[in-house]
Amino acid sequence: MAAAPKRVEPFYRSKGWLALRRARMLDADYFAAKERAKEGERLILDHVVERKDGGAPLDPANTQWLTFSERQAKTEREKRRRSGLA
């Protein structure tokens, strides 16, 4: 059976998040991430300290631009850390 499609949390559709995302697209780390990205790879504005770990949701200093593959690797590291396997 195929996995269910990922659902976007309402927070990531909020006016505050969308405004922060637009503003951060003007910062140097956005352009650096674009340089690192493979052709056609999307960029993700990521929380440095995840919201579920107490990270500030709308603090620009708690965000970073990552390529999709970088974000996947970070997610795997966080899963291992949380499970005690890191």
Nearest to 61, CA basis, from 27, 32, 16, 38: 27
Q: Is residue 11 included in any domain, yes or no? A: no
Percentage of the residues of the chain whose pLDDT score is greater than 90: 74
Give the domain range for residue 64. Answer: 28-83
Q: Is residue 18 included in any domain, yes or no? A: no
Q: Is residue 64 included in any domain, yes or no? A: yes
pTM for the complete prediction?
Answer: 0.85
- Contacts for 62 with CB less than 8 Å, ≥ 6 apart: 47, 48, 49, 55, 56
Q: Is residue 41 included in any domain, yes or no? A: yes
Q: Is residue 63 included in any domain, yes or no? A: yes
- How many domains is the chain partitioned into structurally? 1
> pLDDT digit string (tens) for 2-27?
777 778 899 999 999 999 999 999 99
Q: Is residue 72 included in any domain, yes or no? A: yes
The C-alpha angle 85, 68, 31, rounded to 5 degrees, equals 125
Tell me if 66 sits within 8 A of 74, measured CB to CB.
Answer: yes
